Amino acid sequence: MADALRQSVGALVIETDGPGFTDISRRVAQWLTEVGASDGLLTVFIRHTSASLVIQENADPDVQHDLMRRLNVLAPEDAGYAHCNEGLDDMPAHIKAMLTSTSLAIPVQGGRMVLGTWQGLYVIEHRARPHRRELALHFMGAIA
């Protein structure tokens, strides 16, 4: 007999240090353990338009530096945007969030996210100063 599908919802608040990657893999894994997740699908959603979520390289920090530099080339602060009432970094932050992701779907097996050996789950802060970022979590699947 198959396990009945259950769902769990939750939230995390992530403090960022300004522009860059904040690894949230352990915090999300801890939440999965707390809710008793077994096998199913995890959705992570960031409730902001100037920060984003990515699954990316977790071994070499040069990858993150290179990605941030490339995002800055794609959406520079000095491009003369009309939307600038929240600062010169605001519109580029919206563009960077649009180019990356605001939600991720991650398979879960045996209570663990199915990530590759060199993958981590990150919030990318696109604004120039630290922020409190809210994440919505939703697990659908078997509960241990």
89 in a structural domain: yes
- Bridge partners of 14, per DSSP, are 133
15 in a structural domain: yes
State phi, psi for 104 to the nearest 5 degrees: -135, 145
Residue 4 pLDDT grade (very low, low, confident, very high; cuts 50, 70, 90): confident
118 in a structural domain: yes
Closest Cα to residue 119, out of 31, 47, 56, 38? 56
Residue 144 pLDDT grade (very low, low, confident, very high; cuts 50, 70, 90): confident
Residue 94 has pLDDT above 60, yes or no: yes
Q: Which amino acid is at 66?
A: D
pTM for the whole structure: 0.94
pLDDT digits (tens, 9 = 90+) for 42-80: 999 999 999 999 999 999 999 999 999 999 999 999 999
State phi, psi for 35 to the nearest 5 degrees: -85, -5
Tokens matching residue 144 = 């241990």
Task: Write down the pLDDT at residue 133.
Answer: 98
104 in a structural domain: yes
pLDDT digits (tens, 9 = 90+) for 102-129: 999 999 999 999 999 999 999 999 999 9
Helices within the chain (DSSP H only)? 25-35, 61-74, 90-99
CA distance to 36, 54, 87, per residue, from 10 (Å): 13, 19, 32
98 in a structural domain: yes
Average per-residue pLDDT for the chain: 96
Q: Could you give the number of structural domains in the chain?
A: 1
Residue 3 pLDDT grade (very low, low, confident, very high; cuts 50, 70, 90): low
111 in a structural domain: yes
1 in a structural domain: no
What is the CATH number for 16? 2.60.120.460
Q: What is the mean pLDDT of residues 5-23?
A: 97
Residue 2 pLDDT grade (very low, low, confident, very high; cuts 50, 70, 90): low
Residue 1 pLDDT grade (very low, low, confident, very high; cuts 50, 70, 90): very low
